[in-house]
Amino acid sequence: MQTLILIRHGYPVSWDQKLKVRGTLPHLRLDPALAEIGVRQAECCAQHLKTLGAIDAVLSSPFRRCLETADRLGAAVTPDWKLGEVLLSDVLGSPFSPTSAMDPDWAERRAGAGKPSHPESDRTLQERIAKTVLELKARKPFAQRLAIVSHEIILKELVAALTGRRVAIDWHPGAIAVLKREKPVDRQWRLSGELASHAHLGADDRCEPVEQIVHVYHPRDSHS
């Protein structure tokens, strides 16, 4: 049996700081670290996964908030741009350069992650999700328990592609979904337990922004 554990990154500092003013370094808004509550969420995830069994490997979006979450899961972490944030203007603002606008201190951690699809469209998003699913199915050696840390939109698309069912759900920071398939030849995974469960988070660790934050960048912030 193969198990995929899908995890949304913890709460980042940018959701509270709302750094939008001109002159602020782009990576402080685009590639933020985890906030204190986000760190607790990540640690709650790690403790919860220990109760489910050891993790063989972790795949992660190369954004810092995901890598910081993945680092706490107790297994080797491989960054993959196919799991990265959606590079659409209505998500991250426009223009956006996915390499120059990210935290330079974490550049080494992104080495080997491949290249982002940029500029991105709905079609290229679907293509990279489809490629990710194909790679998961063909992965060798066969990882029986694989964790994936990514962003809400990517996780929703992965669930739809892996299970064949599209479900609208609010994926809380630090929330988890467990998918399983009996044999490598099985075409689809099945949901085990609650989708995007955050029952492992304490009452004080369940927190999201009180308002939707839309990032708007000044043209000089990054150059495509």
Q: How do residues 58-73 score in pLDDT, each as one tens digit? A: 999 999 999 999 999 9
> With 60 as the cut, is the pLDDT of residue 222 above it?
no
> With 60 as the cut, is the pLDDT of residue 90 above it?
no
> With 70 as the cut, is the pLDDT of residue 112 above it?
yes
- CA distance linking residue 110 with residue 64, whole number of Å: 9
Q: How confident is the model at residue 108 (pLDDT cuts 50, 70, 90)?
A: very high
Residue closest to 6 by CA, chosen among 198, 155, 206: 155
**CATH superfamily placement of domain 2-205:** Phosphoglycerate mutase-like (3.40.50.1240)
3-class DSSP assignment, residue 152? helix
> With 60 as the cut, is the pLDDT of residue 217 above it?
no
Q: How confident is the model at residue 94 (pLDDT cuts 50, 70, 90)?
A: low
> With 50 as the cut, is the pLDDT of residue 127 above it?
yes
3-class DSSP assignment, residue 147? strand
For the chain, the structural domain boundaries read 2-205
> With 80 as the cut, is the pLDDT of residue 106 above it?
yes
Q: Alpha carbon of 152 to those of 40, 70, 218, 221: distances in Å?
A: 18, 15, 25, 25
pLDDT digits (tens, 9 = 90+) for 131-169: 999 888 777 766 688 999 999 999 999 999 999 888 888
